[in-house]
Structure 1
Amino acid sequence: MRLRHIEVIQALLQTGHLGTAAEWLQLPVAEVESTLRDAEEQLGFMLFSSVRGRLHATREARELQIEIAHVYEALEPVQRLASSLKQYQAPPLRIICTAPLAHKLLPHSIAALRRRLPDTPCTLLTQPTRDIVKSLLLREADLGLSLHDPDHGDIDCQTIAQGKIQLLAPHGWLQPKQKYISLQDLAGQSMIGLEDHDPLSPTLENKLHALRPAPVIHTRVQTHQMMRSMVEAGEGLALVDPFTALGARTAELDACPLAPAVPISLYALSLKNAEPSPAAQALLDIITEQAAAMLAN
């Protein structure tokens, strides 16, 4: 099968009508019909049957539809790259970060990059750290950002900011102007748990389980942002990264770091020995500045 065959079959699957498919493809109806017949001849079976003026997909066509969808998914990055080369003469800047960084840090940083480089296209995705590493190794991303060091031999890991784990609590739970809270003060408290695939989770939970009485965890969630949402809903307390805790008081939550502090770092991940593009380096500089300002506040 040729790509033209696939385009015609996809259009007919979507529209069910030769004329509409021809308009969609911007082709003469006769050419669409001829391409369909050619595809059926090559395949050796019918793809559509005509019932009252509409084309109905055969069982074979419906099975082909699944693989055709995969073809279009594979073509999408090529089309995006071709579009960017035409418009900007540069490929898009592809950034992948873990979920806590996608809430405020990356949107503000990309907005600042847009003011500096208005024509640079950007793609922002969120993935766990292990998947960020895979994307970098496959050269599907230019820059990764995570709160965890993947400790991978082929990945360059640069610390660009440091903060402290924060306690989030309903408004009024902390004393007025309280700047820190002892881990012992969490003994017996109702808390939100984090799934153990998070590298920081075992360390914190071991500390909490050592308390007497141990905190009570009825609910576990997947991300720090979900933990914050559960605190806002009154489900209990949560220990989160400092980026998730940003703006807590505006949201009528109490927030403060633990004492002794539990440090956490922001890492920039890239493929080892890969030279960053000017846009990637500019964004990394902006992220470093933005992160420092956010954590200072």
Structure 2
Amino acid sequence: MRLRHIEVFHAIMQVGTISGAAQVLHISQPAVTKVLQHCELQLGMPLFERVRGKLYPKPEAHRLFAETEKLNRDLQGIRRLAASLKGRAIETIRLVSTPTVAIAVLPDAMTHWRREFSTTRCELATHHTNEIVNALRLGEADLALSLQDPRHPGIVAEPLAQGVMTVIAPAGTWTEEECTQPLSAEGLTGELIGLADNDPLGEMIVAACEAQGVHPVFHTVVQTYQIARSLVEAGAGTAVVDPFTAASSVASRVQKRAWDPAIPVQLFLLTASHAPLSHGARELANSIGAAARACLEKGCQ
């Protein structure tokens, strides 16, 4: 199948008629019919049943539609890019981040970056690290942020900021003097909020507890650090979270103490090894690094 075949085929699948496809593609009905006939001739089989002027896809057409869907989206993206270049539009930067970093760091970073890049289009999305790696490898993202180094041969991981795992508890849990001292597993008391079993940082915390002879019991287990922080802010218990989540908590509702022994946590800038960053994307990364370090400094106060 040629690209023109795919374009016409998708239009017909979406609207169901030759006339409708012609309107979508802004070409004549005879042109749509001619391309479809040529497509079916090359494939050696009909893709549609023709009944009273309407086309009904055969099973083969449905399978073909599913397989060519991504390619059709890519064609539309290329078309939009070409239109932007023709109109001298500024580049689009696609940034993907884990939810924790997106909430704790990106707002300040974007605000600072926008002062210089006021008209640059930036698309923001949140995913977990495994999905982020796939997005970078497939060219669906330009840069990404994660608290994990995926150690993938096709991904470059650049450290931007570093903190330590932090215990957060409802206000009034500890004295001011206690808040200046690290907290070990033996000091964990009351209701504990746990992280999901497959969370790398959560696994490190449980392992650290067990190394100290403590086997924590979690009656509440959450998927994201933000939920853990919100529960702590509401007085529902104590949690051990990453430093960015701890730093972004409401100071009047939460107390913080460093975890003992210290578990370092780094914020990584992830990029595809074959795709260097544009000037705008690199400056955005610089703003993110500065915002992340400022977030940690603020959280230590």
Report if the CA contact (8 A) 2:168-2:239 is conserved.
Answer: yes
Report if the CA contact (8 A) 1:195-1:221 is conserved.
Answer: no
Report if the CA contact (8 A) 2:164-2:259 is conserved.
Answer: no
Q: Match for residue 209 of structure 1?
A: 210
1:112 paired to 2:108: no
Q: Match for residue 194 of structure 2?
A: 192
Mark the runs of 5 or more structure 2 residues left unpaired by the alignment.
Answer: none
1:220-265 superposed Cα distances (whole Å, 9 cap, x missing partner): 4443234335556776432111222344227x74231235454423
Q: Match for residue 37 of structure 1?
A: 37
List aligned pairs for 1:59-98, cutoff 5 A. 59-88=59-88, 91-98=91-98
Q: Match for residue 124 of structure 2?
A: 124
C-alpha separation between the residues in 2 aligned to 1:123 and 1:182? 40
C-alpha separation between the residues in 2 aligned to 1:135 and 1:168? 33
Structure 1 pair 140–34 and aligned structure 2 pair: CA distance change class (3 A): closer
- 2:244 is paired with a residue whose SS is coil
Structure 1 pair 208–267 and aligned structure 2 pair: CA distance change class (3 A): same
Mark the runs of 5 or more structure 1 residues left unpaired by the alignment.
Answer: none
Structure 1 pair 122–172 and aligned structure 2 pair: CA distance change class (3 A): closer
1:174 paired to 2:173: yes
1:280 paired to 2:271: no
Structure 1 pair 67–142 and aligned structure 2 pair: CA distance change class (3 A): closer
| Amino acid aligned to 2:143 | L
Report if the CA contact (8 A) 1:194-1:201 is conserved.
Answer: yes
Report if the CA contact (8 A) 1:92-1:123 is conserved.
Answer: yes
1:258 paired to 2:245: no
| Amino acid aligned to 2:46 | M
Report if the CA contact (8 A) 1:48-1:55 is conserved.
Answer: yes
C-alpha separation between the residues in 1 aligned to 2:138 and 2:30? 43
1:161 paired to 2:165: no
- 2:119 is paired with a residue whose SS is coil
TM-score between the two structures when normalised by the length of structure 2:
0.78
C-alpha separation between the residues in 1 aligned to 2:226 and 2:149? 20
- 1:266 is paired with a residue whose SS is strand
Structure 1 pair 157–56 and aligned structure 2 pair: CA distance change class (3 A): closer
Report if the CA contact (8 A) 1:84-1:92 is conserved.
Answer: no
Structure 1 pair 25–145 and aligned structure 2 pair: CA distance change class (3 A): same
| Amino acid aligned to 1:190 | L
1:26-52 superposed Cα distances (whole Å, 9 cap, x missing partner): 112222223223333333333223435
Structure 1 pair 13–256 and aligned structure 2 pair: CA distance change class (3 A): same
TM-score between the two structures when normalised by the length of structure 1:
0.79
Structure 1 pair 229–289 and aligned structure 2 pair: CA distance change class (3 A): same
Task: Report % sequence identity.
Answer: 36
Deviates most, 43-52 or 282-291: 43-52
C-alpha separation between the residues in 2 aligned to 1:259 and 1:6? 56
Cα RMSD after superposing both structures: 3.5
| Amino acid aligned to 2:187 | D
1:88-109 superposed Cα distances (whole Å, 9 cap, x missing partner): 4664333333331111412432
- 2:187 is paired with a residue whose SS is helix
